[in-house]
């Protein structure tokens, strides 16, 4: 195995593009090293992006936030402006693994690893985040929900890597939230999860909303029907009920060691409702 720690994105793209055999990007390593340990992957090349300065930064711009691909989730949780604007996204990032894992793991890595149960992804999808991709053919931006294409598979092409995640600027009365279900209080993979982002219009009526569910399908799912259920409402009982039903209806989960189809389908509704209530409150709704 060859290990490289380039200092520019260009150099990283160059290494990945001309790699023969299997090449992996290393940010936090909390997925890659586990897979190496288990013998599931044997990389020929590992490109460590933590020495690329711009990738270590969180930038606040007029259009929102740019979170470098090598920014750890712990660093996200220390950025007050980011917490204020996107508390749900930051909380979701803060739920990945332990404090030890937090020191290293990144939301970009979480996204690229493409687990349907990835904690930060439903929150990013709900937030309408975009991935900034650099590759041999230059830069492109895609919605984060288009990065994972199946469990453990992503849409990046050879030589491409994600440079940063962009979150839009928060305007008006907005709020987001992320909840996951795990059997313990920490250290588990989400059995089912929900991210909700919404913006209020006049008199506390929901003007705009996005709802995303995790661990209920091969990839994190953006559930438009669920958003529709609450747009135009003040999140009353009836709207919540409709939201829950839409969330359950969007589920096509599997039975596995972490949960059953029945359980995931039911709890998806519970979490979507609870997350919506938190987001609503954060947006200033009553």
Q: Summarize as ranges the residues that interact with other proteins (CB under 8 A).
A: 1-3, 5, 26, 28-30, 33-34, 36-39, 43, 46, 48, 50, 72, 74, 97-101, 103-104, 181, 183-189, 191, 256-260, 262-263, 266-267, 270
Q: Report, in Å, the least distance between residue 25 CB and other proteins.
A: 13
Residue-by-residue DSSP string for 247-280: HHHT-----BTTB-HHHHHHHHHHHHHHHHHHHH
Q: Report, in Å, the least distance between residue 177 CB and other proteins.
A: 16
Q: Report, in Å, the least distance between residue 64 CB and other proteins.
A: 26
Q: Which of 63, 245, 278 is nearest to 164 (CA)?
A: 63
Q: Report, in Å, the least distance between residue 89 CB and other proteins.
A: 19
Q: How many CB atoms lie within 10 A of CB 43?
A: 18
Q: Report, in Å, the least distance between residue 214 CB and other proteins.
A: 15
Q: What letter would DSSP give residue 52?
A: -
CA angle, residues 211, 142, 168, in degrees to nearest 5: 60
Taking the C-alpha atoms of residue 191 and residue 152, their distance in angstroms, rounded to an integer, is 17
Q: Which of 47, 26, 14 is nearest to 104 (CA)?
A: 26
Would you say 78 or 146 has its CB closer to other proteins? 78
Task: Please identify which residue in the block is written with the tokens 């994190």.
Answer: 220
Taking the C-alpha atoms of residue 105 and residue 177, their distance in angstroms, rounded to an integer, is 20
First-to-final CA distance of the chain? 56
Would you say 36 or 142 has its CB closer to other proteins? 36
Would you say 228 or 266 has its CB closer to other proteins? 266
Q: Report, in Å, the least distance between residue 7 CB and other proteins.
A: 12
Phi-psi region of 258 (alpha: psi -120 to 50; beta: other; left: phi over 0): alpha
Q: Report, in Å, the least distance between residue 171 CB and other proteins.
A: 32
Would you say 44 or 146 has its CB closer to other proteins? 44
Written as six digits, the tokens of 43 are 């990389």
Written as six digits, the tokens of 173 are 């009365």
Would you say 241 or 262 has its CB closer to other proteins? 262
Taking the C-alpha atoms of residue 189 and residue 151, their distance in angstroms, rounded to an integer, is 14
Would you say 104 or 130 has its CB closer to other proteins? 104
Would you say 8 or 63 has its CB closer to other proteins? 8
């Amino acid at each position: 195995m060859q290990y490289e720690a380039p200092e520019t994105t260009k150099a990283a793209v160059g290494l990945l593009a001309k790699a023969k055999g299997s090449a992996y990007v290393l940010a936090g390593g909390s997925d890659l090293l586990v897979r190496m340990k288990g013998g599931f992957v044997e990389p020929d090349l590992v490109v460590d992006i933590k020495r690329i300065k711009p990738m270590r930064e969180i930038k606040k711009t007029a259009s929102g936030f740019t979170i470098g691909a090598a920014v750890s989730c712990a660093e996200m949780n220390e950025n007050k402006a980011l917490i204020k604007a996107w508390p749900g996204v930051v909380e979701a990032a803060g739920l990945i693994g332990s404090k030890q894992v937090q020191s290293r793991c990144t939301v970009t890595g979480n996204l690229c690893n493409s687990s349907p149960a990835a904690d930060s992804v439903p929150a990013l999808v709900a937030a309408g985040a975009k991935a900034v991709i650099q590759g041999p053919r230059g830069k492109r931006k895609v919605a984060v929900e288009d990065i994972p294409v199946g469990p453990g598979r992503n849409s990046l092409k050879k030589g491409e890597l994600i440079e940063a995640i962009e979150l839009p600027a928060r305007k008006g009365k907005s709020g987001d939230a992320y909840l996951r279900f795990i059997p313990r209080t920490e250290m588990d993979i989400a059995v089912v999860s929900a991210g909700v982002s919404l913006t209020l219009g006049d008199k506390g009526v929901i003007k705009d909303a996005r709802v995303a569910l995790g661990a209920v399908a091969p990839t994190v799912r953006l559930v438009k029907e669920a958003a529709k259920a609450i747009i135009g409402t003040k999140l009353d009982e009836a709207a919540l009920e409709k939201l829950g039903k839409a969330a359950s209806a969007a589920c096509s989960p599997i039975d596995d060691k972490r949960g059953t189809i029945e359980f995931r389908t039911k709890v998806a509704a519970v979490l979507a409702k609870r997350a919506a209530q938190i987001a609503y409150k954060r947006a200033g709704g009553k």
